[in-house]
Amino acid sequence: MAKKAKTQKETPTEIVHAPAQPQLITDTIEKNYMPYVMSVIVSRAIPEIDGLKPSHRKLLYTMYKMGLLTGPRTKSANIVGQTMKLNPHGDMAIYETMVRLTRGNEALLHPFVDSKGSFGKQYSSNMRFAASRYTEAKLDTFCQELFSGIDKDAVDMVDNYDGTLKEPVLLPTTFPNVLVTPNTGIAVGMASSICSFNLGEICDATIALLKNPKLSMDKLLDLVKAPDFPGGGAIIYDREEMRRIYETGSGSVPIRSRYNYDKSENCIEVTQIPYSTTIEVILKKIADLIKEGKLKEVTDFRDESDLSGLKLTLDLRRGVDPDKLMTKLFKMTTLEDSFKCNFNILIDSTPRQMGVAEILTEWIRFRMGCVRRELSFDLKKKKDKLHLLLGLGKILLDIDKAIKIIRHTEKEEDVIPNLMTGFGIDEIQAEYIAEIKLRNLNKQYIINRIAEIEGLQAEIARIEEILGDELKLKALIASQLADIKKKYAQPRKSQLIHVDDVSDYEEDQTPENYNVRIYLTKEGYFKKITLQSLRGNDEQKLKENDEMLLSADTDNLSDLIFITDRCQLYRAKTADFECVKASSMGEYLPAKLNMDEGEKPVFMRVQKGYPQGENFVFIFENGKGVRIPVTNYETKGNRRKLINAYSSVSPICGVFYEKEKEPFEIMLVNDADRAIILKTSLIPVKSTRTSAGVTLMTLKKGQRLRSATGDIDEKYDRLKGYRKLKIPASGQLLADEDLKVLQLKIDQ
């Protein structure tokens, strides 16, 4: 059939696109964003149990394979180029990674890279490193502890990004490098910030944990006192805060700069600054303070850092107290700063925030796996060698027979089978014997080789014994740690200052002095009233059901102490409170002094120093009492709050103050209306603030003291019958008239 002719021009076919399908944001995140997030967390920002990030590990392993652990230094550019075979990032990113690991940069307690040239300084943002073509580097001898056993199958090896090379998943570090090398990293949705600890202290703690997996936190705190930063400085040590960091892996470590005062030049020389700041940040802040007129004590300042180390110099005006000035600078600049701890570590590719003991436990688990693999590798090698030597031993009986078999074998491929048949050995042994050189076919050579058999058998037995006994495996790791400590441990660089010895800066604004009368009520209200105001109105306004507890005459510059029902002591100054009128209820003391919820003051005193021979007298509801010397409450720093001021075994019933050689009488009344009166000199003095004291009044089961009253007036002759000369003493039942008089006395 003839093809039909076209009658009209054909139009091109239209391509119809399907309408775009909407995609849920959750699907977009899951498919596109989550792989990126996991890559950053697992392969970039968070260190693993060997204490290294992938960039560190790839760089160090490349240098190891280049022979830089034992060989001479090479150009940094060469190292960077070789590292790109494992780490396909820009050369500058790799070089910056190496810079931080060098001895010259001073960022690590134990540098991994022995460097030559300018590598900048960790404590300065302006002191930049030289280009990689100018500097040289090699691995420091300390890196022997990173790579020990890596050639003995200690860790898994994986392909690099293009499958042309192998690289280790982790490095088999022989010490807990994760807590010795400082590391910080910001991933997606999480971060890691690990401070460095002293190598010797970490080794001691790990050995103790190997011996006792249930090591107490107090023992760990004794062994690992605090972090130890490469830049030194002074750590403000608070044991309870350190305990929280060790337990949770999260917290803050405050660090102060260290300085010297040059009296001849009247200048301060700062020689160590916190690890978390730089010289430039400090200098900028000092310059700003001088411009604002807030730092008139300083006439000039400059950075005098040189090859000998860091030095920041401040020239002072005549008469300036250098210690007081530094206290001011600690508050107003980063000369005092904090290192924020966040011990986030990858364990089996899972990020976990852990405390120090948990990290060490995980490292021990990792290290035991590495040592087992090393020992298994050695065991196989030794067994293989023993197997060959046992075969060699069989031809010792008839060397001529071996030679005869080889000589009379027509075909080369029949040599091995004929030796196997002739001596009853396997193919591997026969191959080994056949490869022996003719010159070695003498009795001396063979006897010497066979002599190794006993040594190999003993070594194999030792390795099998260690592999079969976890305690011996731990003992081997402990001995390695002891050797590392002996070889590489250094004294602490960061000094420890107890938080009690640290004084806070307070602006010198001396208030006006005048005479006042102060009052404390049972509900915790405090009044400061001028004597002039009292002349017009002595009637005190109190909250409903409240009553006056204590009052005293003093001046506006005196020091006050308050003791509460929660075993705490608070210090304040009279000038801290506003003057009020008698018609005012006063200031609520628990809120003013930031007391704990429900805490109330039970004692107030104007305290003038802490003289020897004077005591606080504490009476408890369980009938016990104790005298504590006031010298026990003196602190070097200006602490506003003191915990554990007295024993918490029993609720407090009364607090009194005894001056030197001025004992007084106290009346104790229990809830059964029995009373005794005794002199404070009968109560023993204890040197420990939290001492529970001794029994003063014997109480029957369920009874407690209802009141403890001081200043018993001698006019109450009827009370003489209650006086006791020895303790403990039984109470005497109060007569009705005594009970009424006493009640009136207490209510006044």
User: 3-state class of 268 per DSSP?
Assistant: strand
The last residue of one of the domains, among 488, 523, 550, is 488
Provide the 8-state DSSP code for 422. Answer: H
Dihedral angle sign, alpha carbons of residues 527, 530, 531, 536: negative
Is the same domain home to 408 and 468?
yes
Residues linked to residue 347 through DSSP beta bridges, in sequence order: 350
Residues linked to residue 346 through DSSP beta bridges, in sequence order: 48, 351
Residue 92 forms part of a structural domain: yes
CATH number assigned to the domain comprising residue 475: 1.10.268.10
Structure tokens at 196: 């460095």
Is the same domain home to 324 and 372?
no
CATH number assigned to the domain comprising residue 112: 3.90.199.10
Q: Which of 484, 223, 213, 250 has its CA nearest to residue 360? A: 213
Mean of the per-residue pLDDT values of the chain: 88
Assign 6 a pLDDT band (cuts: 50, 70, 90): very low
Whether the pLDDT of residue 474 is over 90: the answer is yes
Burial class (CB in 10 A: 0-12, 13-18, 19+), 363: buried
Q: Give the mean pLDDT of 686-694.
A: 92
Dihedral angle sign, alpha carbons of residues 73, 77, 82, 83: positive
Percent of the chain with pLDDT over 70: 93
Q: What is the pLDDT of residues 95-105, one digit of tens each?
A: 999 999 999 99
Whether the Cβ atoms of residue 43 and residue 86 lie closer than 8 Å to each other: no
Residue 32 forms part of a structural domain: no
Whether the Cβ atoms of residue 630 and residue 660 lie closer than 8 Å to each other: no
Burial class (CB in 10 A: 0-12, 13-18, 19+), 674: buried
Is the same domain home to 523 and 446?
no
Residues 6+ apart with CB under 8 A from 644: 567, 568, 689, 690
Is the same domain home to 482 and 369?
yes
Q: Tally the domains of the chain.
A: 5
Whether the pLDDT of residue 10 is over 60: the answer is no
Residue 183 forms part of a structural domain: no
Burial class (CB in 10 A: 0-12, 13-18, 19+), 290: middle
Q: What pLDDT is stored for residue 2 in this prediction?
A: 43
Number of continuous H segments (helices) and E segments (strands) in the chain: 20, 35
Place of tokens 């209200």: 525
Is the same domain home to 395 and 328?
no
Residue 6, Cβ neighbours under 10 Å: how many?
7
Backbone angles phi, psi at 100, to 5 degrees: -65, -25
Q: What pLDDT is stored for residue 94 in this prediction?
A: 94
Whether the pLDDT of residue 32 is over 60: the answer is yes
Residue 370 forms part of a structural domain: yes
Q: What pLDDT is stored for residue 717 in this prediction?
A: 56
> Of 33, 36, 134, 514, which residue is the catalytic one?
134
Q: Give the mean pLDDT of 605-624.
A: 92
What's the start-to-end Cα distance of the chain, in Å? Answer: 133
Provide the 8-state DSSP code for 131. Answer: P
Domain that holds residue 64: 52-172
Is the same domain home to 453 and 518?
no
Single-letter code of the amino acid located at 682: L
Tell me if residue 570 is catalytic: no
Whether the pLDDT of residue 715 is over 50: the answer is no
- The span from the CA of 258 to the CA of 28, in Å, is 52
Chain center to CA of 606 = 39
Whether the pLDDT of residue 735 is over 80: the answer is no
Whether the Cβ atoms of residue 595 and residue 526 lie closer than 8 Å to each other: no
- The span from the CA of 89 to the CA of 80, in Å, is 10
Is the same domain home to 731 and 711?
yes
Is the same domain home to 311 and 376?
no
Assign 1 a pLDDT band (cuts: 50, 70, 90): very low
Is the same domain home to 604 and 617?
no
The last residue of one of the domains, among 319, 334, 349, is 334
**Pairwise pLDDT comparison (102 vs 742), residue with the higher score:** 102
Question: Strands 652-658, 615-620: parallel, antiparallel or unpaired by DSSP?
Answer: antiparallel
Place of tokens 């006439």: 299
Residues linked to residue 496 through DSSP beta bridges, in sequence order: 235
User: 3-state class of 430 per DSSP?
Assistant: helix
Identify the top-confidence range among 247-251, 401-405, 535-539. Answer: 247-251
* Cα 633-634-637 angle, rounded to 5 deg: 125
Q: At what angle do helices 470-488 and 443-467 cross, to 10 degrees?
A: 100
Enclosing H/E stretch for 451: helix 443-467
Percent of the chain with pLDDT over 90: 61
Chain center to CA of 617 = 39
Whether the pLDDT of residue 12 is over 70: the answer is no
CATH number assigned to the domain comprising residue 692: 2.120.10.90
Q: Which of 321, 343, 325 has its CA nearest to residue 335? A: 325
Is the same domain home to 747 and 722?
yes
Q: Give the mean pLDDT of 252-269.
A: 94
Q: What pLDDT is stored for residue 716 in this prediction?
A: 53
The last residue of one of the domains, among 584, 608, 632, is 608
Whether the pLDDT of residue 287 is over 50: the answer is yes
Place of tokens 């000589």: 407
Is the same domain home to 168 and 93?
yes
Torsion, Cα of 572, 574, 575, 579 (10° steps)? 130
Enclosing H/E stretch for 404: helix 399-407
Structure tokens at 623: 């009938």
Residue 583 forms part of a structural domain: yes
Ranking 44-58, 65-79, 511-525, 614-628 by mean pLDDT, the lowest is: 511-525
Q: Which of 722, 728, 602 has its CA nearest to residue 656? A: 602
Residues 6+ apart with CB under 8 A from 137: 63, 68, 73, 74, 76, 79, 98, 102, 113, 114, 115, 116
Whether the pLDDT of residue 567 is over 50: the answer is yes
Q: What is the pLDDT of residues 367-377, one digit of tens each?
A: 999 999 999 99
CATH number assigned to the domain comprising residue 267: 3.30.1360.40
Residues 6+ apart with CB under 8 A from 576: 592
Place of tokens 């017009």: 536
Is the same domain home to 272 and 398?
no
Q: What is the pLDDT of residues 586-603, one digit of tens each?
A: 899 999 999 999 999 999
Q: Give the mean pLDDT of 569-584.
A: 89
